[in-house]
Homo-oligomer: A and B are copies of this chain.
Amino acid sequence: MKKVKIYVTLRESILDPQGSAVQGSLAKMGYGEVEDLRIGKYLELTIKDTERDIDTLVKEMCEKVLTNVVIEDYRYEVEEAN
């Protein structure tokens, strides 16, 4: 069994209004030190042992379902799990 952690972020050129809103709230609450804040997704998948190549599998799922490749980037890590 494998544990896959996927980090999905908006591409640098894409505005992140949700992140800006949260940054604004933090500034009003006295956390003006925060210069930039961007919000992405974090996915944890548990994947059964399979004959398919794990990298191919994860990339396919990311590109077809889990991310929007037009506006998002992703990276992932694969760990052995029990």
Residues of A within 8 A of B (CB): 1, 7-9, 19, 22, 25-26, 29, 31, 33-48, 50, 52, 57, 60-61, 64-66
B48 touches A35 (CB 8 A): yes
Knowing A1-B35, A33-B57, say if A41 contacts B44 (CB, 8 Å): no
Knowing A65-B25, A66-B22, say if A31 contacts B44 (CB, 8 Å): no
Smallest beta-carbon distance A29→chain B, Å: 7
Beyond the given pairs A26-B61, A41-B41, 19 more chain A to chain B contacts, judged by CB atoms under 8 angstroms and listed by A's residue number, are: A8-B42, A9-B42, A19-B43, A22-B65, A25-B65, A29-B65, A31-B57, A31-B60, A31-B61, A33-B52, A35-B47, A36-B46, A37-B46, A38-B43, A38-B44, A39-B41, A39-B43, A40-B41, A40-B43
